[in-house]
Amino acid sequence: MGTRRGPRLASVGDVVDFLAKVTREVYCDRIEIKKASTIGYLCAQLRGCFEVADLEERITNLEAQLSQRRKSTPATVAPAKRLTEE
């Protein structure tokens, strides 16, 4: 294999820009359809990874904020009693 490097795809925006470029290349007959299809599939997978990572980070931040609020706010409501079968 050579030392050829691909595009830097570090965000969803980078993936979208790259797919737009690949689409133009296909339209101008400068890239094979099979190669473009493979690139499109891989970009979709990568986009999904970015989206999951973003959601994971956002959930972690929200959980930290909620934990902080619980620590700083006194409990004003008694915990609900558990119903048992009689």
- The torsion region of residue 33 among left (phi > 0), alpha (psi -120 to 50) and beta comes to alpha
Contact (Cβ atoms closer than 8 angstroms) between residue 56 and residue 45: no
Rounded to two decimals, what is the model's pTM? 0.68
- Average pLDDT in the 61-72 region? 92
What local confidence, expressed as pLDDT, does residue 54 receive? 95
Query: What is the residue extent of each domain of the chain?
Result: 12-71
Model confidence band, residue 71 (pLDDT cutoffs 50, 70, 90): confident
Q: How many degrees, rounded to 5, is the angle at CA 12 between CA 27 and CA 55? A: 150
Q: Residue 45's Cα: distance from chain center in Å?
A: 10
pLDDT tens digits for 5-57?
Answer: 889 999 999 999 999 999 999 999 999 999 999 999 999 999 999 999 999 99
What local confidence, expressed as pLDDT, does residue 81 receive? 75
